[in-house]
């Protein structure tokens, strides 16, 4: 190993064109890596790359993370519970759809009732499978999971409205910053389904798709 790699207990790095050498242990640059000590070299190398090089970024991450969950509270969570706190619930049930509907805002017709397209949308959401519901939610809000504390916790209410500036065969628009879905004046629930799912599947990572 010593003759093949000509490596000592140090690591060379380059940042913004400046090369630097760091000893992995005291006097590391003068200690050759051999068959007897290669395991120690690998361990020190990995520790340096994963921790020493990333220490500043890790400290910044932990500072932000601990503003959400104090260190003394972490032992109270299982990994699954912690994921739910950070990412939301893993699926969207029919009960979740109803909760979202009740917490939502919508546009009204001349009689003060929700537009037909709005009612078609909510009926569609109840008939979709959980994966497609998640895709619709991500298309509109940027997050495919319900908040842990419920849809009432959304900073901006989920809003479904009919856009009079759109044509009957246009694709819907999503304004993610405001959790807003804008539907064209579709003439049937079938057209709404086809157009919405097309937009969701092809453009759910964007802000708007015409």
Q: Which residues are catalytic?
A: 177
Angle between helices 130-141 and 189-203 (to 10 degrees): 70
Estimate to the nearest angstrom the gap between the alpha carbon of 84 and the chain centroid: 13
Phi, psi angle pair for 166, to nearest 5°: -95, 155
Sequence length of the chain is 210
Q: How many CA atoms lie within 13 Å of 69's alpha carbon, on the beta-carbon side? A: 14
Helix runs in 48-188, H state only: 55-68, 79-87, 94-103, 116-127, 130-141
Q: Rounded distance, CA 198 to CA 210, Å?
A: 11
Q: Rounded distance, CA 8 to CA 31, Å?
A: 5
Q: Rounded distance, CA 49 to CA 38, Å?
A: 16
């Amino acid at each position: 190993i010593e003759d093949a790699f000509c490596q000592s207990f140090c690591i060379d790095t380059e940042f913004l064109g400046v090369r630097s050498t760091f000893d992995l242990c005291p006097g590391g640059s003068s200690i050759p890596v051999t068959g007897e000590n290669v395991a120690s070299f690998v361990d020190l190398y990995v520790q340096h790359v994963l921790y020493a090089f990333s220490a500043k970024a890790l400290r910044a991450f932990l500072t932000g993370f601990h503003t959400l969950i104090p260190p003394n509270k972490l032992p109270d969570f299982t990994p699954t519970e912690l994921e739910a706190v950070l990412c939301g619930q893993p699926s969207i049930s029919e009960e979740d759809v109803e909760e979202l509907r009740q917490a939502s805002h919508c546009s009204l017709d001349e009689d003060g009732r929700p537009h037909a397209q709005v009612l078609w949308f909510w009926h569609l959401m109840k008939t979709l499978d959980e994966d497609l519901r998640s895709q619709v939610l991500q298309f509109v809000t940027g997050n495919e999971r319900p908040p842990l504390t419920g849809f009432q916790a959304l900073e901006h209410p989920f809003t479904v409205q009919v856009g009079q500036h759109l044509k009957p065969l246009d694709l819907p628009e999503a304004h993610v910053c405001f959790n807003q879905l804008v539907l064209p004046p579709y003439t049937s629930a079938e057209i709404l389904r086809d157009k919405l799912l097309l937009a969701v599947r092809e453009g759910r990572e964007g802000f708007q798709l015409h």
